[in-house]
Structure 1
Amino acid sequence: MARKFFVGGNFKMNGTKESIKSIVKNLNESQLDSNVEVVIAPPSLYLQLAADSIKQPNVAVSAQNVYDKPNGAFTGEISVSQLKDSNIHWTILGHSERRTLLGETDEVVASKTKFAIDGGVSVVWCCGESLEERESGNTVAVVEKQLAALAAKVSGADWEKIVIAYEPIWAIGTGKVATVQQAQDVHAAIRGWLKANVSDKVAEETRILYGGSVNGKNCKELAKEQDIDGFLVGGASLKPEFVDIINSKL
């Protein structure tokens, strides 16, 4: 089956009421490829604002994080039920900034992923290697370890609620981009791992995104690759060129 192209915009800790309104207005007024599924992930403070403002039928709003407990004394966290209550049905989990800056392990990310899915929230699940790991030839081993932790928690129909985002840490926010071949090779390795360790169906149907300094100039070349099913965009999602990235298959 053909995998529907998917583009996510991770705003990270950026934005104000006015800038979020401006970004959403630009999306609402743009001609977007109707064959692309789009999610934007503003800071949690602005999730409701974005959700209430989006008019495009193929654009949804995503959280940047969610906790793996239903409620309670977890200061600063956000729950699956709170997202659902606000009509938010996506979250990003496992982003390298959460892993490296906030110490989230593969197992913690996998636990959050399972909890989100069980609660009815789909997940953009991130994986990737550091520059040191890339240079030592351990890229695939690192990503496979992250995948193994995920596969230990999720199974069966859970995979239908997961979009994988491969984001080499050394290319996030640095302006450095993996070459088209580097990106395709890792995407193919991820799909091969899913085939060998999960199922042919999951390997064929799971969308695998590339993230790491994607912009309006490099997106079209990356989008041509067989195993690149879209993008998770950082800084460029705050700019008008985000529309060009969404439309990169046109």
Structure 2
Amino acid sequence: MTAAVPRRALVTGGSGDLGGAICQQLATDGLHVIVHANGNPARAQQVVDAIHHAGGSAETVVFDVADGEATRAALAALLDGGPIQVVVNNAGIHDDAPMAGMAEAQWKRVIDVSLHGFFHVTQPLLLPMARTRWGRVVSVSSVAAVTGNRGQSNYAAAKAALHGASKSLAREMASRGITVNVVAPGVIEGQMTHDAFPPEVIKQLVPAGRAGRAEEVAALVGFLCSDAAGYVNGQVIGVNGGMA
């Protein structure tokens, strides 16, 4: 008897702290993981190497999710190898400033990556996914999309838009065995958090009194991408230590 071919999962922004943890979780769960990067392909390759070292299956792909044409071309090449049944939209950027002092380019670039990137990546994968009658779409948002955050009107707007888009897409695709959910992390350990949130600030902001770990977010993403989560659909789930 031949072994079953593993489902393929695409994780955008897979070279970052959180993205890398999600990639490793999905690989541990038996998926073939396509680790996406844009600015740091070497770090994406390190994630792939770590997955291979642990006995998993993975490869890299490089493109800018904000560039629709480049994204469609990259996905077409991947789809030549069969459908991608799991997509985790994790790519996102910060470019913080109070709106009164925010440049138009800051507003548009953040929304281009998080929101337009969601469309550019997810839309071409839907029909091939639907033909298999099984699929998982998970987008990584932020507690800022729920509560707001000073200096992040662009980021909060982009991530909050994912909530509405995902709830609508969940209704469209549910009859095809496809679920669409959002995970909204709070303060999560990593280089960006280390620079922006000293420990005393975290204790004030987070009822749990600590930053979350990337692995804690990845565990939830892994569950939502599993067969066991087939009836969890159209949800926005916080991982924020009680912040919201």
- Asked if these proteins are the same fold (TM beyond 0.5), I'd say no
TM-score with structure 1 setting the length: 0.40
Q: Which has the higher helix share?
A: 2
TM-score with structure 2 setting the length: 0.40
Q: Which has the higher contact order (CA 8 A, sep 6+)?
A: 1
